[in-house]
Amino acid sequence: MSSVAISNLVLQRSEFLRFVQRRVGSRDTAEDILQAAYVRAVEQATHIRNDESASAWFYRILRNAVIDHYRHRTAEDHALARWAQDLESSTAPDPKTSEIVCGCIAKIIPTLKPSYREILHEVELAGATLDTFAKSAGITPANAAVRVHRARQALKKQLMLVCGCCSTHGCINCTCASA
Q: Which candidate, 14, 12, 21, 26, places its Cα nearest to that of 56? A: 12
CATH numbers and ranges of domains, the chain: 3-87 (1.10.1740), 92-168 (1.10.10.10)
Cα separation, 81 vs 11, in Å, equals 41
Cβ pair 147, 117 in contact under 8 A: no
For residue range 98-124, what is the model confidence (pLDDT) as tens digits? 554 556 777 788 889 999 989 988 888
Residue partners of 65: CB distance under 8 A and separation at least 6: 20, 33, 36, 37, 40
Can you point out the beta strands (E) in the chain?
A: none
State the sign of the Cα–Cα–Cα–Cα dihedral 38, 40, 41, 42: positive
For residue range 21-60, what is the model confidence (pLDDT) as tens digits? 999 988 999 999 999 999 888 888 777 766 568 888 899 9
